[in-house]
Structure 1
Amino acid sequence: MFREAPPAGALAHIRALAGVGVELAVTGIGPVPAMRTLARWLLPLFALLVQACTSLAPRAPLPYEATLPDARDSPLGRLAQQVPAAGLSGFRLLPDGAFALDARLVLAQRAERTLDLQYYLFRCDAIGLAVLQALAQAAERGVRVRLLVDDLHVDDDDARFAAFAAHPNVQVRLFNPLPARGGGVLSRLVRSLPELRRINHRMHNKLFIADDSLSVSGGRNIGREYFMQDADANFIDMDILALGPVVREQSASFDRYWNSEHAYPIGALARTAPAAPLPAGPAALPDPGHAQDALGRARLSQELAAGPLDLIWAPGRVVADLPDKIARPESAQRFADSVTEHTLDLVRGAQRRVLIICPYFIPGKVGLDIMRDAQRRQVRTTLLTNALGATDEALVHFAYAGYRREVLRLGVEVYELGPDIARRLRKLGNFGRSQGRLHAKMAIVDETQMFIGSMNMDERSASVNTEVGLLIDSPALVRDFRRLMDGEHFRSAYRLRLGENDRLQWIDRDDDGREEVLDAEPGLHPWLRLKRWLLTPIVPEDLL
C-alpha cells in the first residue's frame, strides 16, 4: 500500500510537469501518437524554460542544534514526568478542529523552554497568523522557537517567515527548498526545472512539540481548511496529543531534520521585503459552538487550567523516516525502514480485523498482496477513503479507482466519504455549507493497535516523501476512536459493491437506514471524464 493533501491541484503541477513536460518531452514516448506530437511541441518550450532556470547552492555548514538539555525543567515538563508506570505515554485523540488548534496555542502559551514545529504546509492565513502570533509571544518570554516548513508551498510567504525569524529567539528553516523564490507553486516549479527530480521529494511530517514534554501530531497542517474554518471545503482530520517518553522520540526525530543538510535557514533564501507585523494581543480562537468535543472532553486549555489531564496511558513508539530518505537513489532504499514499511508490518500481523482510513489510497501490487493474504487468513479488512466528489486530488482518485474491483473481489469492505453526506455526521465537525473531505491517516489492527500520523498508503509516502507517525498499543484508545464512528456501515460514506456483470455500485444510506443504489459514480462529471481520459495514461502512478 503505497499522499498530503496540498492545496487543490498544487502537486498536480508537479505531476503535470514531471509526467508530461519532462518524461514525454525528453523521451518523445507517449501512450498514443497524439501524445508524441504533444511532446515534440513541448520539447523546445522546455528547452527555453530551462535556460531561464536557477539551481540551489549547497547549504553552508551550521553548528548542530539539539533539544535543550533543560527543556523539561518547566511546568509542562513536570507534568510529563507524572507517568503511572515506566514505558507508558499519555494520549488523547483530537478529532475537533477548534480543539486541535486550542491545543497548539495553549502549548505555545505555556511553554517555558522550547517550541519545535515541523510542517509540510504552513499557510499564513488567519489560522497560521494566530499560530505565529502565539510563537512570537513565547519568544518574547525567552522560549527558543524553531520552525521547520517544507518549502513547496511557501510561495510569497518568504517575507513573512523572514520577518518572524528576525526575532532573536526564533529560527525558521525551509526543507528541500526550490531554487526559484517568489510567485506561485507552478511558476516556481517551472523556474526550478533542472532540479525537478530532487524537489519532487517533500517533507510531509507534522509535529508540534512544547518543552520536549507534550506534542500534537497527526494529519493536520496549519491552515484554515484543517480546522473547519474554510467557507468552501474542510478536512475531516485527526490529531493526537501525546505526553511522556514518545515525545522525546519525536524531539529526536525533529533534531535530525533540523540539522539535515536539506534544511536551509530562511535568511539564506528569502528575498528581503517588508512584512506586516503580527497582530498584538491574544490570538482569536474559532468558536467550536460546544464546550466539549465529540469524545466529551474539554479544551486542553481548560484542562491545564483546572488540573489533571484526561489521558489514556499506553505503550507507544515513534516511527519516522530519516531526512536523507529523499536523497537515496533507489525506491527500495527509500522504502526500507520507512514509516510505510513499519505500518504495513503492523497490518500484516493482523489476526482478526483491519480498518484503514486513508484519503489517498493507491495499494499497488504490495497492497493487493497484503489484502489477498488477509482474505486467505480470514482477516476482515475495511477501507474508508474519499469519494471522487470529496477528493481534492482527482488524479490520485483515478489511480485508486483502477484497483477498486480487485480490492472488492478480495473481500475488502470499501467505503467512500461523500462531500455532502459527510455533513450528516456532526461528530466530525460543523461543516456549515462547506464540503467535507477526508484527511485523517490511521490504521486500526485487531481493535488493540493504532497507527496515526502523516502517512498515506501510496507510493509517494512509501518512497518519495518523508513521514512520521505513532504506533500505539491500546485497546482503550481504539475504543475511544470507535466512539467517533457512526456504526459498522459509516452512514457518512457510500458503501461499494460489485453488481451484475462486475459493475460497481455505490450504496447510500439515509438517516433512517433506507438504502439507495447508485450505478454511476457520484461526482464523475463530464469535465472529470475528459481529465481522466487525457491525463491518466500520461502521469506515472509513482508520481501521484
Structure 2
Amino acid sequence: MTTTRSLLLACLLAWCAACITGCASLPARQPTPPAHALADVGATGLARLVAASTSADGQGRSGLRMLPEGPFSLDARLSLAAAAEKSLDVQYYQLQSDATGFRLLRALRDAAARGVRVRLLVDDFYTAGQDELFGTLSAHPNVEVRLFNPLPERKGSFLGRFIGSASAFARINHRMHNKLFIADNSVSVAGGRNIGDEYFMQSETANFIDADVLATGPVVRAQSAAFDLYWNSPHVWPIEQVVPPLLAPARSRERFDEIVGPAAPDIVVRAHDALGKTAVRQQLAEGRLDLMFAKATVLVDDPDKIARTDADERLAGSVTARVMELMDSARSQVLIISPYFIPGRLGMQRLGRAVGNGVKVTIYTNSLSSTDEPLVYLGYARYRDDLLKLGMEIYEVAPHRGGSTNLGAFGTSISRLHAKISVVDDDRIFVGSMNLDSRSARINTEIGLVVESAEVVREFRRLIPVRGFQSAYRLRLSDSGRVEWLEPREDGGFTVHHDNPGTNWIAELWNWFSSLFVGEEQL
C-alpha cells in the first residue's frame, strides 16, 4: 500500500516537475444545500432491535461492543448495510478497489435500490483511478458521493496526480483520516480500519491488527452530527463537481455493476470471536445485540482544522489534545497502542511527567520490520532510547507472530499494527483513527470515542494474553546502553536481538537517507 508519509519524499520531484509542466486546477466549487442525518428512524428494524437489546440499566447510556477481529468487523458493516431501511452514512480515509472495497460498494448499491439514502464521503488522497467507480455509484438513485479536499489532477497514477497537483501541496497535504459507518442513525461501527483487504484479514501478504467499536444509543447521534459536520463542510465536494459524468445515468449504473462484479460468497467468520461473541449477522437474525452499556463521548476534529495556518492552532482542541489531556489524568497506568508513534518534545514532557508521578506507561507500536511507514519508525527511534531510560515499557510488533494475538489465522501473511487505542487506568479507553504523531495532531483530521467503563476496559484487556504481548518484541537497554529486542519463545524464555530484527543494513541506510528529506512535523 502506498503511504502518505513515504510519498512526501516525492514532493521535491513533484515541485520540480510542476515548474516544468504546470499544474491542474479545480473548477470553482458550487455551494450545496445542507443535509443532515435522518431523525425519523424509530420504526426501523435496527432501531427496534437496539431498543430490544438495551437493558433497564442501559437507558440513557450507549451500547458498545469491541470488534477486534477483521472478519467480524467486516461482517458487521455488511450486515448493517443489508439491514438498513432509511439511511447509511459512510466516511473513510481510504476505500480500496479490491475484493473488500467492492463488497462494501455492492452493499451500498443494494441498499440504495431498496430506497435507503446513502451518503458516501471519501478522502480524495487515495482515489487514483477511482473517479469512474465513485462517479458511476453516484449515478444510482438515493446515492450521493462526495470527496474531501480533492486533488486538482484527476488522471494517472497516484504519483502522477501528486505531481500534477504539486502547486496545491500546502492544501492537499491535509487529509481527512476519519473512519465512520452509521446505519439508520441507530448503529455505528467506528475505529481504526479503512476499507481494504488487509484491514479485515483478507490479504495473503500482510494483514493489520486493528480494532473497531460497534455502538448504539446517544453516542450514535453524536457520531451522526460529526458526519454532518464534514458532509456540509466547504472542504467537501460532490463528485459530479470534480468529475463531470460522461455517461447517461442508466449506462453509468451498468458500468458500476461491471466494475464491482457479481456478488461474492459471505465472509467466513468463526463461531465466536476472541471475546466469545457471535457475529453481528447472527445477532441481527436472532433479534438481539450483545452489548455493554457505558458513557461514551465522541471526539472529532473540526474539518476547518485543515485551513488554519498556525500549527499550534490546529492542535488546540483537537482529538490529539483531548486524548493527551485524558492521559494526563492517569492515576496509575497508561497503555498506548499506536502504529505510528512519534511523541515529539511535548509528548516526551507529558509522558515523562506521568512516569515521574508514579504512572506506569506502556507503549505498543510497530517494529521496523512490521511497519508500512519506515520513515515514521525512524522518527520514533529518535525518542526510543529516552523513553526506555525514563522507565517506560515498549513493545514492537513482530511481523511473523500474528498467530499469538488470538485475533485469527494470519497464515503466511505478516502482521502489522494499525489499531489506535489508549487505555487510562482501569476505567477509560479511547478507540479511534488518531495516531500519536504530528500528522494526526496538526495536519490531518481525526475522530474517536472515549468510553468511561471499567467493564469495557476489562473486556479489552481480555485480548492481551496472560503472558503479555506475545506478538511483539519487548525492548530493553543493555548494560552498555544499547537497545535490545527480546522475542518471546514457546518455552517462556526470550531470544535476544542486538540489532533491529528482520531488517538489513541496506534497508536501514535507505530509510535513513529518505528521512533527511521529510521533517518530523510531516510524519
Does structure 2 conserve the Cα–Cα contact (< 8 Å) formed by 1:130 and 1:284? no
TM alignment of 1:39-438, pairs within 5 A: 45-49=17-21, 51=22, 53-81=23-51, 83=54, 84=56, 85-270=58-243, 272=246, 275-277=255-257, 283-288=264-269, 290-425=270-405, 427-438=406-417
> Which residue pairs with 1:38 in the alignment?
none
> Which residue pairs with 1:457 in the alignment?
436
Q: How far is the alpha carbon of 1:17 from its aligned partner?
A: 3.4
Does structure 2 conserve the Cα–Cα contact (< 8 Å) formed by 1:315 and 1:472? yes
CA RMSD of superposed structures (Å): 1.6
Tell me how far apart the structure 2 counterparts of residues 161 and 248 of structure 1 sit (CA, whole Å).
Answer: 27
Does structure 1 conserve the Cα–Cα contact (< 8 Å) formed by 2:39 and 2:185? no
Q: How far is the alpha carbon of 1:231 from its aligned partner?
A: 1.0
The one-letter code matched in structure 2 to 1:317 is T
Tell me how far apart the structure 2 counterparts of residues 73 and 333 of structure 1 sit (CA, whole Å).
Answer: 43
Query: For each residue in 1:106-127, what CA deviation from the matched residue of structure 2 results, as whole angstroms up to 9, or x when unmatched?
Result: 1111111100000000012111
Does structure 2 conserve the Cα–Cα contact (< 8 Å) formed by 1:59 and 1:262? no
SS at match of 1:173: strand
Does structure 2 conserve the Cα–Cα contact (< 8 Å) formed by 1:92 and 1:311? yes
The one-letter code matched in structure 2 to 1:67 is A
Tell me how far apart the structure 2 counterparts of residues 320 and 122 of structure 1 sit (CA, whole Å).
Answer: 20
Q: How far is the alpha carbon of 1:497 from its aligned partner?
A: 0.4
Does structure 2 conserve the Cα–Cα contact (< 8 Å) formed by 1:418 and 1:436? yes
Normalising by structure 1, we get a TM-score of: 0.91
Does structure 2 conserve the Cα–Cα contact (< 8 Å) formed by 1:418 and 1:494? yes
Query: For each residue in 1:245-277, what CA deviation from the matched residue of structure 2 results, as whole angstroms up to 9, or x when unmatched?
Result: 000000000001001111111111226376341
Corresponding residue to 1:12 among 6, 20, 23? 6
Tell me how far apart the structure 2 counterparts of residues 71 and 309 of structure 1 sit (CA, whole Å).
Answer: 18
Query: For each residue in 1:409-430, what CA deviation from the matched residue of structure 2 results, as whole angstroms up to 9, or x when unmatched?
Result: 11110000010122333x1221
SS at match of 2:129: helix
Does structure 1 conserve the Cα–Cα contact (< 8 Å) formed by 2:428 and 2:452? yes
Is there any run of 5+ residues in structure 2 with no aligned partner, and where? none
Tell me how far apart the structure 2 counterparts of residues 78 and 9 of structure 1 sit (CA, whole Å).
Answer: 41
Q: How far is the alpha carbon of 1:128 from its aligned partner?
A: 0.9
Tell me how far apart the structure 2 counterparts of residues 337 and 155 of structure 1 sit (CA, whole Å).
Answer: 32
Query: For each residue in 1:474-494, what CA deviation from the matched residue of structure 2 results, as whole angstroms up to 9, or x when unmatched?
Result: 111111111111235311100
Query: For each residue in 1:483-510, what CA deviation from the matched residue of structure 2 results, as whole angstroms up to 9, or x when unmatched?
Result: 1112353111000001022100001111
> Which residue pairs with 2:484 in the alignment?
505
Does structure 1 conserve the Cα–Cα contact (< 8 Å) formed by 2:49 and 2:289? no
Q: Which moved more, 1:314-323 or 1:267-276?
A: 267-276
Is there any run of 5+ residues in structure 1 with no aligned partner, and where? 1-6, 26-42
Residues 101 and 533 of structure 1, relative CA distance in 2, 3 Å threshold = closer
The one-letter code matched in structure 2 to 1:536 is S
> Which residue pairs with 1:37 in the alignment?
none
The one-letter code matched in structure 1 to 2:454 is P
Tell me how far apart the structure 2 counterparts of residues 56 and 249 of structure 1 sit (CA, whole Å).
Answer: 32
Does structure 1 conserve the Cα–Cα contact (< 8 Å) formed by 2:113 and 2:141? no
Q: How far is the alpha carbon of 1:525 from its aligned partner?
A: 1.4
Query: For each residue in 1:136-175, what CA deviation from the matched residue of structure 2 results, as whole angstroms up to 9, or x when unmatched?
Result: 1111111000000000111111101111110110000010
Does structure 1 conserve the Cα–Cα contact (< 8 Å) formed by 2:64 and 2:216? yes
Percent identity over the alignment is 47
Query: For each residue in 1:345-403, what CA deviation from the matched residue of structure 2 results, as whole angstroms up to 9, or x when unmatched?
Result: 11010000110100000000111011111111110010000011000010011111111
> Which residue pairs with 1:36 in the alignment?
none
Tell me how far apart the structure 1 counterparts of residues 490 and 427 of structure 2 sit (CA, whole Å).
Answer: 30
Tell me how far apart the structure 2 counterparts of residues 485 and 402 of structure 1 sit (CA, whole Å).
Answer: 28
> Which residue pairs with 2:494 in the alignment?
515
Equivalent residues, number: 512
The one-letter code matched in structure 2 to 1:349 is S
SS at match of 1:402: helix
Does structure 1 conserve the Cα–Cα contact (< 8 Å) formed by 2:30 and 2:241? no
Q: How far is the alpha carbon of 1:79 from its aligned partner?
A: 3.0
Does structure 2 conserve the Cα–Cα contact (< 8 Å) formed by 1:317 and 1:470? yes
Q: How far is the alpha carbon of 1:282 from its aligned partner?
A: 5.4
Q: How far is the alpha carbon of 1:86 from its aligned partner?
A: 4.2
Does structure 1 conserve the Cα–Cα contact (< 8 Å) formed by 2:302 and 2:445? yes
Q: How far is the alpha carbon of 1:285 from its aligned partner?
A: 2.6
Tell me how far apart the structure 2 counterparts of residues 280 and 386 of structure 1 sit (CA, whole Å).
Answer: 35
Does structure 2 conserve the Cα–Cα contact (< 8 Å) formed by 1:326 and 1:334? yes
Tell me how far apart the structure 2 counterparts of residues 196 and 54 of structure 1 sit (CA, whole Å).
Answer: 12
Residues 456 and 10 of structure 1, relative CA distance in 2, 3 Å threshold = closer
Tell me how far apart the structure 2 counterparts of residues 21 and 282 of structure 1 sit (CA, whole Å).
Answer: 42
The one-letter code matched in structure 1 to 2:37 is T
Tell me how far apart the structure 2 counterparts of residues 280 and 120 of structure 1 sit (CA, whole Å).
Answer: 23
Q: How far is the alpha carbon of 1:16 from its aligned partner?
A: 1.2
Residues 68 and 109 of structure 1, relative CA distance in 2, 3 Å threshold = same
Q: Which moved more, 1:410-419 or 1:522-531?
A: 522-531
The one-letter code matched in structure 1 to 2:19 is A
Q: How far is the alpha carbon of 1:526 from its aligned partner?
A: 2.7
Q: Which moved more, 1:333-342 or 1:279-288?
A: 279-288
Does structure 2 conserve the Cα–Cα contact (< 8 Å) formed by 1:119 and 1:221? yes
Tell me how far apart the structure 1 counterparts of residues 13 and 129 of structure 2 sit (CA, whole Å).
Answer: 25
Q: How far is the alpha carbon of 1:284 from its aligned partner?
A: 2.5
SS at match of 1:495: strand
